[in-house]
Amino acid sequence: MVEKRFGEHLRVRTKPHKMTFNNHEAGIKAEFNQGLLQEHLPLTQGVMTGDQTLVKTLGKVIPKSTVEALNSTEFIDVFGRVLELPGPRGGTCLQYLYVWDYQAVPAHEADYEPIFVYIDGTKRHAIYDLVHYCARRLELGSSKRDGPGLRMIPGWHSFLPAPQLRPANADSKLEVKPLSDQHLDAWYSIPEKSAQFKIRRYLANPFLLEAPGHFLESPDEDSKTMCCTFLEIESALKEFEDPRKGVVEGVKRALTKCVGIFGLYRLGALVQLLLEMNQIGLLQLGQPLGDGLNLGKLTALLQEGLISLTDMGKNLIQGLGKE
């Protein structure tokens, strides 16, 4: 049964005239400019209904606990603010946070997904959360109608590039709400760690954020391994026309480059990533990845085709590495 205890923390009731925007480093100016935020709101697909769509399409094959969590998840809103830093290393950054009251995989209350849009004259690019706070860059057109966009991964709520996404097929009726100090203070102060908002340094100064990189200033070893794995998958997808082959080859490379024979303690993070991808319908596992799994066994499973991309996974992941 899904338990939600922090609804009041997530749904901040501060009146607009009492909101402040001071959570930033010295020299940076922050404000809520709804017109500008709405104008540059990235094209997305699946933010509002993706979780429920996943249940309708794959509800009979994904775990029952995942189905229950997906059905219980509610998208709250997208929140934003504008940050400006003068000087050659500064510019304008529009910070968007997409907030849900629950995340199905891994299961926990409250989920926050960042997309930062940087504007330099007519040039725009976004840095978004690929998976587990891994920061990736996407070049944007000069306006929304030019695309590309980002497709939300149901259950994870992370994003994947969608090069062909255009306004007619994108999420509509998303209205950017203020990302105020009061919101951030409430989300930072949630008593349960898994439900807390965790991005601090790069929220206060997004001009220091790099991509590829990480939204957290000090990511743990598991997160580093997962980010490394997806970078290898992305690299392989550029080389293989068939996304199924690209993903399998990327995981094989990750076993060598992200885990390695001297880093077997990292294998658990890679296996966790594969299990999560299975739970949300991206990967099909020919046999359980249970206890006793080692580097050799996992390599054999990949070679024998017992770990493969699903049709839904193929549709979602095909934009990765193509932007």
Give the mean pLDDT of 160-177: 94
Residue 30 has pLDDT above 90, yes or no: yes
Give the mean pLDDT of 191-214: 97
Residue 72 has pLDDT above 70, yes or no: yes
**139-150, pLDDT tens digit by residue?**
999 888 888 999
Q: Going by C-beta distance under 8 Å and a sequence separation of 6 or more, which residues neighbour residue 224?
A: 214
What pLDDT band is residue 131 in, cutting at 50, 70 and 90?
very high
**36-48, pLDDT tens digit by residue?**
999 999 999 999 9
What the block records as the tokens of 287 is 């046999």
- Of 72-81, 86-95, 141-150, the poorest mean pLDDT is in 141-150
Look at residue 290 in the predicted model and tell me its pLDDT.
67
Residue 323 has pLDDT above 60, yes or no: no
Look at residue 117 in the predicted model and tell me its pLDDT.
98
Distance of CA 291 to the CA centre of its chain: 28
Residue 252 has pLDDT above 90, yes or no: yes
Q: How far is CA 292 from CA 176, 211, 225, in A?
A: 48, 35, 20
Residue 31 has pLDDT above 90, yes or no: yes
d(CA 239, CA 20) in angstroms, rounded, equals 48
What is the share, in percent, of the chain residues with pLDDT greater than 90? 77
**273-309, pLDDT tens digit by residue?**
999 999 999 998 887 776 667 778 888 888 888 888 8
pTM score, two decimals? 0.94
Give the mean pLDDT of 18-42: 98
Residue 315 has pLDDT above 90, yes or no: no
**C-alpha torsion angle, residues 4, 10, 12, 16 (rounded to 10):** -150
Look at residue 126 in the predicted model and tell me its pLDDT.
98
Look at residue 297 in the predicted model and tell me its pLDDT.
80
Look at residue 146 in the predicted model and tell me its pLDDT.
80
What pLDDT band is residue 320 in, cutting at 50, 70 and 90?
confident
Mean pLDDT (the chain, rounded): 93
Q: Give the domain ranges of the chain.
A: 7-214, 221-317
Look at residue 93 in the predicted model and tell me its pLDDT.
98
